[in-house]
């Protein structure tokens, strides 16, 4: 299949659905939310899996709401897949590969959150990832825990730096 045809086919689901960003439930003072607003990029590394890769993270604050999504790409090219059907996923995520942030809490300089459930590329199983971190100016670093439905846990570290302010 030609590259042009592949791109056209890949764009069809985007044309079929209208992205309506879903506000992320945020527990934070409005001023504290500004500390997370912007586009972030960095890396993650799984302790048990050894999987490493890049992560991009975007938080947009509008009044007392926030919108966020995450893109994780493993060094071997593997990517998490959303649990829900592609058409449904595109209603709350910016692209087929993006995972929505389902919850964020910011207390002082500590952030914690949860990603929407996804299919992990290493086990091809449904997982939920929670993350915690510390905001230090334009850098956020912390740890994550990924849990499978049968209770298996994998941990790791992540670090992002702000690439763009809102």
Give the CATH number for residue 16: 2.40.128.120
Of 22 and 126, more confident: 126
Tokens of 124: 């091809």
Of 112 and 68, more confident: 112
Average pLDDT in the chain: 76
Asked if 139 contacts 43 with a C-beta cutoff of 8 angstroms, the reply is: no
- The candidate with the shortest Cα–Cα distance to 87, out of 4, 15, 6, 7, is 15
Tell me the three state secondary structure of residue 118. Answer: strand
**Torsion over CA of 34, 95, 93 and 42, rounded to 10 degrees?**
-40
Of 7 and 20, more confident: 20
Give the structural domain span for 69. Answer: 3-164
User: What tens digit of pLDDT does each residue of 25-53 get?
Assistant: 567 777 777 778 888 888 889 898 888 88
Task: State the total domains in the chain.
Answer: 1
Asked if 99 contacts 121 with a C-beta cutoff of 8 angstroms, the reply is: no
Calpha distance 79→81 (Å, rounded)? 6
β-strand 99-107 against 26-27: which pairing, if any?
A: parallel
């Amino acid at each position: 299949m030609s590259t042009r045809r592949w791109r056209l086919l890949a764009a069809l689901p985007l044309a079929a659905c209208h992205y309506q960003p879903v506000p992320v439930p945020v527990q934070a003072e409005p001023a504290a939310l500004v500390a997370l607003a912007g586009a972030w990029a960095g890396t993650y590394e799984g302790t048990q899996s050894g999987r490493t890769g890049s992560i991009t993270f975007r938080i947009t604050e509008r009044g007392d709401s926030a919108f966020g999504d995450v893109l994780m790409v493993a060094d071997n090219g593997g990517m998490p897949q959303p649990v829900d059907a592609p058409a449904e996923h595109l209603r709350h995520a910016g692209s087929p590969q993006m995972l929505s942030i389902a919850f964020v809490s910011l207390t002082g300089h500590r952030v914690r959150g949860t990603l929407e459930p996804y299919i992990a590329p290493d086990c091809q199983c449904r997982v939920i990832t929670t993350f915690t971190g510390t905001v230090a100016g334009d850098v956020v670093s912390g740890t994550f825990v990924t849990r499978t439905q049968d209770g298996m846990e994998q941990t790791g570290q992540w670090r992002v730096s702000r690439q763009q302010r809102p």
